Each structure stands twice: as structure tokens, then as C-alpha cells.
Homo-oligomer: A and B are copies of this chain.
């Protein structure tokens, strides 16, 4: 292999590849192989349909079995992204979600910037047959969509992983990253998703008793809109702590008033 293939000495931590309910072991293996080809290592599987471990996945990995063996299994997408600061959802489908949509090349630029700041990032890939649900896409910060021929747009999940991994490595070979200046000194690392989910749940519980969710029918959409909004804000851990305090204060007021306590 020519020098062009050498990984940079200070290689950044690549994004986690999260396959949501993958159906075929062959595709998991092919995705692992693609990851190995381009220097990614963190494979996460949410409830693989045919169970785990998978003989077919190992066979299809074709030498990249270390990545298959090291894959972590999760019961839900929420758990799979809990420790990540920044998440893309790979989807071609139109969604009514206020999320930025970028191509894979732009996505890896952002992923590299985040990695350079020490953030943990990942990319969600959906089921072979029907991709990601709106709820899963809502867990992500942004959407990555591939440029494809609209007349034949169905991209196999392992191929989608391959293209992302390829762009990741290709971008890394292009030399030094543009550093952000003063802005960088303020820590605006988005909190790990577990913190954000904690805030979402806290707020939803607080709203439950207020009649905010007018009917049970409307609730799922309202919850989804709220979550999309909080997701999009990219709050840090500190900011989320502040917001927990705000919600708790607004909740507490009920107890105070019930006790007849007055408080200026």
C-alpha cells in the first residue's frame, strides 16, 4: 500500500456506527469490514433481529472479525447513544423534523471537528427494510443523506456505512483541520444523550399533570416536537442542569402553594 494509505499519527476517535435492528448478519459483517477498511472501530447493534453472536456476520466480516466480536449490543437506540455527545441519523426519507440535513462529506467534517474537541459522536443506520423511525431520527442532532440516483436510490446499509467510513478516512488525509478560535474556548460540548433524555423525561412528567398534553392522541406528537426542540438546542451538561432546576422550580411551586406558603 502506498503512503497515501497511512493513517495520520494522531488519528481522531472515529464515530460509533450504530445499526438499529439490523436484519441480516451478512450486512452487519459487511458493515464491520467497511469500518475496518477505513479505520473505524466502534460498532453498536440495537436488537439485531436474528440474535447475537452471529456466525453470518463473522463470515461476512472477512477478516474484520475483531470489530464484529467487539460490537456492543443494546436493547434500545436510546441506550446505544446514551454516552454520545453528537449523533447523526442516516436517512433518505423526508421528515417533518427541524434538523439540518447534510451529505456524508459535510457530516464527516463536523464529526472530525467534534472528535478534535474530545466529543463522542455516532451515526445511526436503520433497518434494511424500512430504515429509522421518526422517534429514532429525533434522537439525532442532524441528518445525513447520501447523494444517490433518484431513479435507484436504495442503498444497502453496509454500503451506507462504507461511504461514511470512506469519507471519514478521506477527510483525515486532507491534512490539518481548521481550528475554531475564541469560540472554542467556551465548552459547548453537547451533553451525552442520556442527560438530554433525562431532561426530556423530567419535563414530560412535569407537564403530564398540567393538562399540557390535551389528549392521549395528541401526546405522542407533542412529545416528539418537544424532544426535537430540545435536541436541536444542543445543550451542554451545565445547561441541562440549569434546565432541570427550572423545571423543578416550576413544579415545586405547586407544593408551596398547596401548603399555603407564600414566597416572594
Contacts and interface: CB of A to CB of B under 8 A. Distances in A.
B169 A147 contact: yes
Interface in A88-115: 92, 94-103, 105
A64 to B, nearest CB: 6
A159 interface: yes
Interface string A32-76: 011011110000000000000000000000111000000000000
Interface stretch (A15-23, A119-127, A171-179): A171-179
Contacts of A229: 235, 239, 242-243
A207 to B, nearest CB: 6
Contacts of A243: 229
A5 B92 CA distance: 9
B249 A149 contact: no
B203 A246 contact: yes
A212 B246 contact: yes
Interface in A159-190: 159, 162-163, 166, 169-170, 173, 175, 177-184, 186-188
Interface in A1-32: 1-2, 4-7
Contact of A2 (B145, B181, B184, B239): B145
30 contacts: A1-B148, A4-B103, A5-B150, A7-B149, A7-B151, A37-B153, A38-B149, A63-B154, A95-B182, A95-B183, A98-B188, A98-B236, A101-B183, A103-B177, A105-B170, A145-B183, A147-B173, A149-B169, A162-B163, A203-B246, A207-B246, A207-B249, A209-B263, A210-B253, A210-B263, A212-B246, A212-B249, A225-B242, A232-B233, A233-B234
